[in-house]
């Protein structure tokens, strides 16, 4: 199969309009390319999980007429696989243990990156603290990682300068999103990732992990994220309302509208099947404008 796409929601709450847009974009792009569309539940961060959210998300997707291929993958069941990947990186001497607390990092940091203080590498140069909980970091490469995003165009990042040595396994022993997403995309044979532009910044870190683990690379397309009237990304933190399964046809058309696909006015009164047929038939990723934060 030339195209395997995916949608990878975190069960921190029900899907909101922003997550619907990401689901619709990844679905249409997969189906318009005769590809598969897989579902992965990113329930790695148990402390942030909301009980029942996974069931709600699956129900919402079904009500909107999404049909996923193959079995659903749950990250919470894959800890051993992430550990094996971490071991493989450690064997290549790319990682090191870190016992710094958040405060110690903030106090010791002298450089700011795009995500705040850059970790100064204390534990790489000094002895780690005995009996302290250990996180695992990967040494950031001091070279430019470049890729072509299908929507955002040419991208490049020097991880050492912009981010610093990043965490693969946290002090609470949970695996970091950056590692899990790379391992899972490879295990599900994902060829194309379509997701929100808020993750554009993570992409170089993920490409570096793919390269270090000798995994095949992926094509990326980062769609604009939906913001509220205050300009904040829709999320559980900004109290975004859940999508309404009783109004699926109309909300689906709004999502297509947001993605600049120009659905005709009459479409919202049609059946979900008709809407999906239209959406896949008329899908054009080229119509999506780069990096514009649109209000709903
Ligand atoms: N689980 C992530 C989220 O809900 C998406 C990860 C991805 O698409 O790479 O924001
Ligand atoms: Zn440290």
User: Quick one: which atom of ligand 1 is closest to the CA of 9?
Assistant: 4
Q: Which ligand is nearest to the CA of 49?
A: 1
pLDDT-derived band of residue 40, with 50, 70 and 90 as boundaries?
very high
**For residue 102, which ligand has an atom nearest its CA?**
2
pLDDT surpasses 80 at 295: no
Ligand 1 pocket, residues with Cβ under 6 angstroms: 8-10, 42, 181, 195, 199
- Given ligand 1 and candidates 5, 6, 10, 76, which is best to mutate, with the most ligand atoms within 8 Å of its CB? 10
Kindly state the percentage of the chain with pLDDT values over 70.
98
Taking all residues of the chain, what is their mean pLDDT, rounded to a whole number?
Answer: 94
Q: Residue 239, exposed/middle/buried by CB under 10 A (0-12, 13-18, 19+)?
A: exposed
Q: pTM for the complete prediction?
A: 0.95
> Could you report the per-residue pLDDT of 9-33, keeping only the tens digit for each?
999 999 999 999 999 999 999 999 9
Centre of ligand 1 from the C-alpha of residue 8, in Å: 5
Residue 293 has pLDDT above 60, yes or no: no
**Which residue, among 112, 89, 104, 107, has the nearest Cα to 169 in the 3D structure?**
89
Query: How many whole angstroms from its chain centre is CA 164?
Result: 20
């Amino acid at each position: 199969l030339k195209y395997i796409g995916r949608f990878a929601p975190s069960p921190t709450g029900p899907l909101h309009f922003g997550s619907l847009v990401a689901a619709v974009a990844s679905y249409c792009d997969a189906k318009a390319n005769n590809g598969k569309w897989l579902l992965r539940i990113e329930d790695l961060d148990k402390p942030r999980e909301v009980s029942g959210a996974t069931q709600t998300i699956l129900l919402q997707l079904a009500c909107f007429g999404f049909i996923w291929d193959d079995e659903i993958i749950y990250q919470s069941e894959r800890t051993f696989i992430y550990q094996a990947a971490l071991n493989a990186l450690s064997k290549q001497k790319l990682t090191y243990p870190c016992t710094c607390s958040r405060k110690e990092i903030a106090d010791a940091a002298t450089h700011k990156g795009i995500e705040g203080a850059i970790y100064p590498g204390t534990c790489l140069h000094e002895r780690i603290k005995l009996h302290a909980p250990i996180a695992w970091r990967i040494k950031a490469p001091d070279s430019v990682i470049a890729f072509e995003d299908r929507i955002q165009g040419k991208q490049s990042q020097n991880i050492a300068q912009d981010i610093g040595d990043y965490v693969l396994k946290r002090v609470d022993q949970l695996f970091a999103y950056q590692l899990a997403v790379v391992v899972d995309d490879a295990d599900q044979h994902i060829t194309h990732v379509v997701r929100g532009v808020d993750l554009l910044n993570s992409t170089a870190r993920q490409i570096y992990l793919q390269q270090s683990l000798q995994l095949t690379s992926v094509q990326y397309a980062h769609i604009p994220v939906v913001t509220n009237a205050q300009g904040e990304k829709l999320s559980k933190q900004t109290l975004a309302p859940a999508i309404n399964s009783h109004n699926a046809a109309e909300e689906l058309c709004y999502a297509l509208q947001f993605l600049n696909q120009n659905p005709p006015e009459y479409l919202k009164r049609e059946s979900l099947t008709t809407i999906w047929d239209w959406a896949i038939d008329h899908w054009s990723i080229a119509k999506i404008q780069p990096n514009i934060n649109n209000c709903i």
